Structure 1
């Protein structure tokens, strides 16, 4: 099994601000405060978390083909 990537760069769909963060390994992150414009991001319909919606790398549970927190 390949290693899980823990770093993902989230890009805000409102202002375009990007920031790289370390994803939690034991839970999905449903909300994210944009440091650029202050908007609170939530997952798009059908996605389990903000990293799967707006990040460069899906969350660790999705990378491991495990069920997510939804």
Structure 2
């Protein structure tokens, strides 16, 4: 299975979107919106900001793992 490493994050505070490359070796727990500077954190039950606010789930979830651990 080929992993998708690009995901577009949408800020829930201001609606700004940006395409980012997801790390394959670690979770990203915090993400600062470049427009409004709000620091995003994963929603309850999600392992990272990409799973909560991205268009594509993080690589470990894509690969069938339960979380980024």
TM-superposed CA distance for 1:68, in Å, is: 2.0
Task: Normalising by structure 2, report the TM-score.
Answer: 0.95
User: RMSD value over aligned CA atoms?
Assistant: 1.0
Q: Does the 8 A contact of 2:61 with 2:68 survive in 1? A: no
Which structure 1 segments of 5+ residues have no match?
none
After TM superposition, where is structure 1 displaced by more than 4 Å over at least 4 residues in a row?
none
Task: Normalising by structure 1, report the TM-score.
Answer: 0.93
Aligned residues: 69
**1:14 aligns to what?**
13
